[in-house]
Amino acid sequence: MKTVTVEAASGSYPVHIGRGLLSDPDLVAGMVAGKQVFLISNETVGPMHEAALEKALVAFEISKYELPDGERFKNLEYFSVLLDKMVASGMHRDATIVSLGGGVVSDIAGFAAACYQRGIAHVICPTTLLAQADAAIGGKTAINHSGGKNLVGAFHQPIGVVTDLATLDTLDDRQMRAGMAEIVKSALIADKTFFGWLESHAGEVLARDRQSLTHAIETSCRIKARIVAEDEKETGSRALLNLGHSFAHAIEAESGYRYLHGEAVAVGLLLAAEVAVRVGLADAELVQRIFDLNERCGLPTGIEGLDPGKLAKVMAMDKKVLSGKLTLVLPEKPGSVVLCDSFDPALPESVMREYCR
């Protein structure tokens, strides 16, 4: 088992990574302080992986709820349902929420943990590659609003993350590939050696080779933990984690979520690199390396069936538009990124036009 410690300003916690961890009788149980556990999963993941957890938590009073599966249920309505179920189950202030699922489940469960009785403990058991490498770390919780994705939320760090690699055995290949995009993003932001490693080992990670998978998840967690330790509430360097995301959120939304989040991020990384080349921050070789890595991971290298003009409009409404100016995170080379708002406002649209098919 590998352990990464997240040292956020509001508290530190372990991220354990290994195989078979959900059925370890001491691991999750050891993190729970009170007697009550509220287990939140969804209708897909629950039936596959809940039993192991329930067995390990047999000494506790367990109540549970399975959300319907999908990003569209990460909303106010189901947030309210969760709170209703917790109240009806008589959860006290010392209850612990244990969430089991991908980023959708950990985001809405985390927000419930942040709000219920002004904040209760949360243990995250992430079950997608994207959640294991990224979403479970750092304490951002959120639900979507009709006015935008992740528009309502809070910072609320979990008390621990238990990443059981065995849960990935049931995850489909498309979701594995989508998870790779956030791993590539982490490498591009902060670790050129890791980026080089991914160029030669991506296939092994996607094939779920145990050693490669552990290395990819652990390194990605360490990168995110380091950035969160510097800037928990995103007043500075944490914004760099948004590399590719201004493009990605527009692509996801405009495609009606036909693109998975990770797939949109993969294209977003490419577009951000292309913008960086145009403003003289990066060499064209960087675009080629990202393009090749996306191809190797089976991730998209272009935008299918979307209107670049509409994408640009959605980007203009992005949360990262500060005082009327779009700010983008741009890569200079693997391991080095900068925030940039000094580019021709028409540039993102013209770059997207070139990548539209």
Ligand X SMILES: NC(=O)c1ccc[n+]([C@@H]2O[C@H](COP(=O)([O-])OP(=O)(O)OC[C@H]3O[C@@H](n4cnc5c(N)ncnc54)[C@H](O)[C@@H]3O)[C@@H](O)[C@H]2O)c1
Give the binding site for ligand X (CB under 6 A): 42, 44-45, 48, 69, 71, 74, 101-105, 107, 127-128, 130-131, 134-135, 138, 140, 150, 167, 170-171, 175, 178, 261
**Nearest residue (CB) to ligand X, 201 versus 261:** 261
The phi-psi region of residue 117 (left if phi > 0; otherwise alpha if psi is between -120 and 50; otherwise beta) is left
Nearest approach in angstroms of CB 252 to ligand X is 9
Catalytic site includes residue 140:
yes
Catalytic site includes residue 222:
no
Q: Position 339: which residue type?
A: L
CA 97 to chain CA centroid, Å, is: 19
Nearest C-alpha neighbor of 62 from the set 18, 143, 123: 123
Catalytic site includes residue 177:
no
Q: What phi and psi, each to the nearest 5 degrees, are found at residue 154?
A: -155, 160
Which one of the listed residues 16, 74, 140, 156 is annotated catalytic? 140
Catalytic site includes residue 234:
yes
Nearest approach in angstroms of CB 218 to ligand X is 17
Nearest approach in angstroms of CB 260 to ligand X is 6
**Nearest residue (CB) to ligand X, 170 versus 288:** 170
Tokens of 152: 């309502």
Distances (CA, A) of 96 to 32, 56, 84: 6, 15, 16
Distance from C-alpha of 181 to C-alpha of 151, rounded to nearest angstrom? 23
On whether the CB atoms of residues 97 and 122 are closer than 8 A, the answer is yes
Distance from C-alpha of 226 to C-alpha of 242, rounded to nearest angstrom? 15
Nearest approach in angstroms of CB 4 to ligand X is 15
Nearest approach in angstroms of CB 342 to ligand X is 28
Which one of the listed residues 16, 74, 177, 245 is annotated catalytic? 245
* Number of residue whose CB is nearest ligand X: 103
Which one of the listed residues 50, 182, 263, 274 is annotated catalytic? 182
Catalytic site includes residue 75:
no
Catalytic site includes residue 118:
yes
**Nearest residue (CB) to ligand X, 127 versus 294:** 127
Dihedral of CA 108/109/113/115: which sign? positive
**Nearest residue (CB) to ligand X, 71 versus 283:** 71
**Nearest residue (CB) to ligand X, 59 versus 151:** 151
Catalytic site includes residue 263:
no
Q: Which residues of 202-224 are buried (b: 16+ CB within 10 A; e: fewer)?
A: beebbeeeeebbbbbbbbbbbbb
Q: What phi and psi, each to the nearest 5 degrees, are found at residue 260?
A: -70, 155
Catalytic site includes residue 85:
no
Catalytic site includes residue 7:
no
Which one of the listed residues 177, 215, 261, 289 is annotated catalytic? 261
Show which residues are catalytic.
118, 140, 182, 224, 234, 238, 242, 245, 249, 261
